Structure 1
Amino acid sequence: MPVNTQAFSEADGQFTSFRHAAFPDHKIRVKSDVTLCDNTVKQHVGYLDVGTDKHFFFWFFESRDKPDSDPFLLWLNGGPGCSSLTGLFMELGPCRMSENGNGTVHNDHSWNNKANIVFLDQPVDVGFSYGEGNEAVSNTKEAAKDVYAFLQIFLQTFTKYQPADFHVTGESYAGHYIPQIGATIAAGNAKAEQVAHQRGLAQQSLRPEDLVTIHLDSLAIGNGLTDALVQYKYYPDMACDTKYGPVLTNEQCDQMRGKYETCASLVQSCYKWKTPFACVPATMYCNNAMIGPFQQTGRNVYDVRTDCAPGSKLCYPILEDIEAWLNLPAVQSELGVDRAYQGCNFDVNRNFVMQGDWPLPFQQLLVPLLESGVRILIYAGDADYICNWIGNKAWIRALEWSGQDEFENAEDVDWKVGRTGKVGGKVRAHENLTFLQIYEAGHMVPYDQPEAGAEMIETWIQKKNFA
C-alpha cells in the first residue's frame, strides 16, 4: 500500500486509519483485502469519518489497464439521497448485479477499464454512509466540503494517484454536486499553490498540514439538474416529443407551458435570494406543474419508453436486488460494514428539498472553471424525462461564458460509437465545453447503453474528439 509519510496512520480493528493535519476532525478508515465484484484489481473500501457524527462510505477500484498512470475518477449518483453503489452495480462499475440478484457478473464495459475510480456515498445516511447525532447534511455546499476533505486525505495516503488527471463524474442531482465540488477543488488548489509559491517549494515537499494540488481536468455530468430556470421550461416539449411517442396530449402540454411563467418567477426569486423561504415554494410548484402530470401516467420518469415496474420503488427491480445482495451477512463482513444498506433515502431527499437546495443555480459555478481551462462534458440520454436532454442542451446554450457565441453557432454532428459501429448520438463542442446527446438511453446512460457509455468516458478522459 503506497502511503505518503506525511499522512499518519493508526490501526483501527480491520481497518487502517489515515489522517491529515489540515483536517483535524477528519480521517479515512481503509480496508484493502476486498475481492468482491472484481478480484482482478486492487480495491479499497472504508469510511471518511468526520468527528464522531458523520461517516461516508467509499469503494475504490484500480484501473484494469495502467493503474499507476491512468486517470482518477470520482463517481456520484444523485437523488439527492441515492447511493453511488447504484452506479457501481447497475451502470458503470467493474461488475453488475446478476439477473437473479444473488451475485454479480463481470462488466466488460466498466469505466475502470481505463481509469481508477472511487464510488462515494454522500451525503450521510445514504447507502452505507451514516450519521449520528444532529449532523445531517442537507445542502450541496456543505456536502462538497466533506468530499474535498476525503480527496485530500485519500490522495495524501495513496500517493501514486496524486499526479493523475482527476475527473468528477456523476448523474442526476450530481448536476448540483459536481459544479460545487469542482469549485471547491479549484479554491483548494489556489490555496495550495499560493502556499507553495510563498514557500518556494514544489508540491513534493509537502508538510503534514499542506494541501495537495488535485489535478482537476474535467467535470462530466449525465442527465443532470443544474439550471432549474431553463430546464423546467422544456418538460412540456419532452412530454409531447414524438421520437418515442408523446406521453401527454398536446392539450396537457399546453397547460404545462401556461404554468411556466409562474414557475419561472418563483425560481428567479430563488436564484436571487437563495433561501429556503424563496426556494421551497419554487420546488413545490414547479415539480407539481412540470413533473406531476407525467408521473400520473405511470410511465417511467427515467425512461419515457417504459412503464415503471410494478412494486418497484424507483421503477427498476435491479435496485431491490442490489439492496438485498449488499445486506447479505457475508458481503457485509467482507466490506467491514455493520448496518443495513438503503439504495435511496427519501428522508435525505426531503431534507434537501426543505432546505431549498433543489432549484439553486449551480450552472454559475461552471463559468470560472471553464474560463480557467477545466473541460466540461454534459451528456444526456434522450429517453429520460426527469432531467431530459432538451432542457440540458438549452441551459448549456444559455450559459454566459466567453465561448457562448461560438458554442451557439457550432454544429451538431453525428457521434459514431466504434464498439457498435452505429451512430450513438449527436455532439456539439467548442473549446472545453461539450454537449453529447445519446440515443436510445434513459436517465442512466451506462445502464441502457453500456458500450456507448464506456466509449464516451474513454474518449473524454483520453482527450480525443467525439467527431
Structure 2
Amino acid sequence: MNYLLCLACAILTFTDTNPTVDAAPYEGSNLRSAVLLVELLLAAAGDAFIGYEGGKKLRRLDGVLCEPSKGTQAFGYTTISENKKYFHALINAEESSPNTPTFVYLPGGPGVSALGATLTLIGPCIVEADDLTLSLNKFAWTRKANGIFMDAPGETGFSVGSTEASMREYVDNLYKTLLEVISKAPHLRENLHLVGTSFDGSTATLLAQKIISFKSQSGIKLRSLIILDGFMSPVDMYRGAVEMARKRNLLPQKTIAKMVTDGDTCFEKVKACQPTGSHPDPDPSACQEAANFCRDSLLDPLKAASISQYDVRTAPGLEHKYYKLITGT
C-alpha cells in the first residue's frame, strides 16, 4: 500500500479539494494508473464514483490499474448503510472461456486492502522493486480467472465507514457486496471459488457457509474454499509458540517455564471470549483482553530476545535473509 500512498501524494499536489483531473496529458500506463488511484481516493470521500474521459466528468470510473492487461477491469462501491460503503474491484480474465472460474480474494488482517495483493502478487500487473514500475505479471491468477477484490471490513483501503462490531455483520456485508458485483455480471456466479488468507481463512469459511445457505436465492455455484496460511485457531498458534521456544531452546528455561504457565491463562482467556448459547457473537472486550495477554506473554518474549516470530533463525525485520518471496514459485 506504500505504492498507492506515494502515487496519491504525487498526483494530489496537482489537485485541490474539488479537482477536475484530465488523464489525457499523462503519458505511460504508470501515470494513468496513478490517476485512477487518486480518483478512487476522491470517490471514497464523496457520494458518487467519479471518473474522467476526454476531460469530461463521468459518474462511473472506467480506468484500469493495469493498462497492458487484456482483461476488462471495473471498480465501484456497494452501499452498506447510510455511512458505510464497500469498495470492490472486478478484474476479468485475460483468457476467458465459457467456464472461466471466478475467485473472491480476501487478504486477511483484518484490515488489509485487497489492492495490495492485486498489485504485488496475483493481479495482472505487479509493482517492481523500485516501487515505481508496473509490469505485466506472467503468474497472475487473472490470466485465466476472473478476480473479485473487496476492501473490508469498515474503512479498510478505499472503503468507508466504521469497523463492524461482529464477524456476523462483517460476513453479511461481504455477501451483500458479492451479490451486487454478481448482479452486474451474472456469469460470475457459475464457477465461484473463495480464497481466504491469514485471518480471512475464518472469514472465507463463514462466507462460504452463507453462500451455501442462500444458494437457492442467489444461484451462486460455489466450487471450492481455499485457505492460505489460515489463522483459524488462536489457541493453537499461541500453543505452538511455546512449543517452538521449548523444543528449539530459543529462550532460557526460566522464561519458557513462565510461558507454559501463562499459556494456560491465555487459553482460558481465549475461551472466555468465544460465543455461547446466550451470546452468539464473541465478546469484543474479552477477546481484546485475551489477545493482549497472549501476545505479551507468549510472543513478546521472542521479540525481546531479537527472535522473529515468523522465522526463528533471524531477528525481526530480517526475515528476507533466508526467505525471499518470488512470484510464481
TM-score (norm 2): 0.71
Which amino acid in structure 2 is aligned with residue 162 of structure 1? Answer: R
CA contact (8 A) 1:237 1:253 kept: no
In the alignment, the residues of structure 2 paired with residue 130 and residue 158 of structure 1 have an alpha-carbon distance, to the nearest angstrom, of 24
Q: Offset of 1:143 from its aligned partner? A: 1.1
Instruction: Give the 3 Å change call, closer, same or farther, for CA 79–162 of structure 1 in structure 2.
Output: closer
Deviations 1:234-267 (A, max 9, x none): 112334666xxx7545654443223211111222
Report how many residues are paired: 270
Structure 2 match to 1:118: 148
CA contact (8 A) 2:49 2:76 kept: no
1:295 and 2:303 matched = yes
In the alignment, the residues of structure 2 paired with residue 220 and residue 308 of structure 1 have an alpha-carbon distance, to the nearest angstrom, of 29
Deviations 1:199-226 (A, max 9, x none): xxxxxxxxxxxx4221112211212221
* 3-state SS, counterpart of residue 149 of structure 1: helix
CA contact (8 A) 1:66 1:114 kept: yes
Structure 2 match to 1:157: 184
Q: Offset of 1:72 from its aligned partner? A: 0.8
- CA-based RMSD: 3.0
Structure 2 match to 1:378: none
CA contact (8 A) 2:86 2:159 kept: yes
Deviations 1:161-207 (A, max 9, x none): 2222x111121111231122112212222xxx2xxxxxxxxxxxxxx
Instruction: Give the 3 Å change call, closer, same or farther, for CA 240–37 of structure 1 in structure 2.
Output: farther
Show the 5 A alignment for 1:9-20: 14=50
CA contact (8 A) 2:69 2:136 kept: no
Instruction: Give the 3 Å change call, closer, same or farther, for CA 241–214 of structure 1 in structure 2.
Output: farther
Show the 5 A alignment for 1:45-444: 45-66=75-96, 68-131=98-161, 135-164=162-191, 166-189=192-215, 193=216, 211-239=217-245, 248=251, 252-271=255-274, 273=276, 274-309=282-317
Which amino acid in structure 2 is aligned with residue 172 of structure 1? Answer: S
| Identity of matched residues, % | 24
Deviations 1:295-333 (A, max 9, x none): 3345544444554449xxxx99xxxxxxxxxxxxxxxxx
In the alignment, the residues of structure 2 paired with residue 32 and residue 69 of structure 1 have an alpha-carbon distance, to the nearest angstrom, of 26
TM-score (norm 1): 0.52
* 3-state SS, counterpart of residue 89 of structure 2: strand
In the alignment, the residues of structure 2 paired with residue 229 and residue 41 of structure 1 have an alpha-carbon distance, to the nearest angstrom, of 42
Residue segments in structure 1 that go unaligned for 5+ positions in a row: 1-11, 16-28, 194-210, 317-382, 384-439, 442-446, 453-467
In the alignment, the residues of structure 2 paired with residue 146 and residue 81 of structure 1 have an alpha-carbon distance, to the nearest angstrom, of 14
Instruction: Give the 3 Å change call, closer, same or farther, for CA 161–173 of structure 1 in structure 2.
Output: same
Instruction: Give the 3 Å change call, closer, same or farther, for CA 284–309 of structure 1 in structure 2.
Output: closer
Structure 2 match to 1:460: none
CA contact (8 A) 2:259 2:298 kept: yes
In the alignment, the residues of structure 2 paired with residue 35 and residue 278 of structure 1 have an alpha-carbon distance, to the nearest angstrom, of 41
Deviations 1:398-418 (A, max 9, x none): xxxxxxxxxxxxxxxxxxxxx
Residue segments in structure 2 that go unaligned for 5+ positions in a row: 1-47, 52-58, 277-281
Which amino acid in structure 1 is aligned with residue 173 of structure 2? Answer: D
Deviations 1:333-385 (A, max 9, x none): xxxxxxxxxxxxxxxxxxxxxxxxxxxxxxxxxxxxxxxxxxxxxxxxxx9xx
Structure number with higher relative contact order (C-alpha < 8 Å, ≥ 6 residues apart):
1
CA contact (8 A) 2:78 2:180 kept: no
CA contact (8 A) 1:67 1:116 kept: no
In the alignment, the residues of structure 1 paired with residue 258 and residue 251 of structure 2 have an alpha-carbon distance, to the nearest angstrom, of 11
- Which structure's residues are more often strand, by fraction? 1
In the alignment, the residues of structure 2 paired with residue 250 and residue 170 of structure 1 have an alpha-carbon distance, to the nearest angstrom, of 37
Which amino acid in structure 2 is aligned with residue 169 of structure 1? Answer: V
In the alignment, the residues of structure 2 paired with residue 449 and residue 182 of structure 1 have an alpha-carbon distance, to the nearest angstrom, of 30
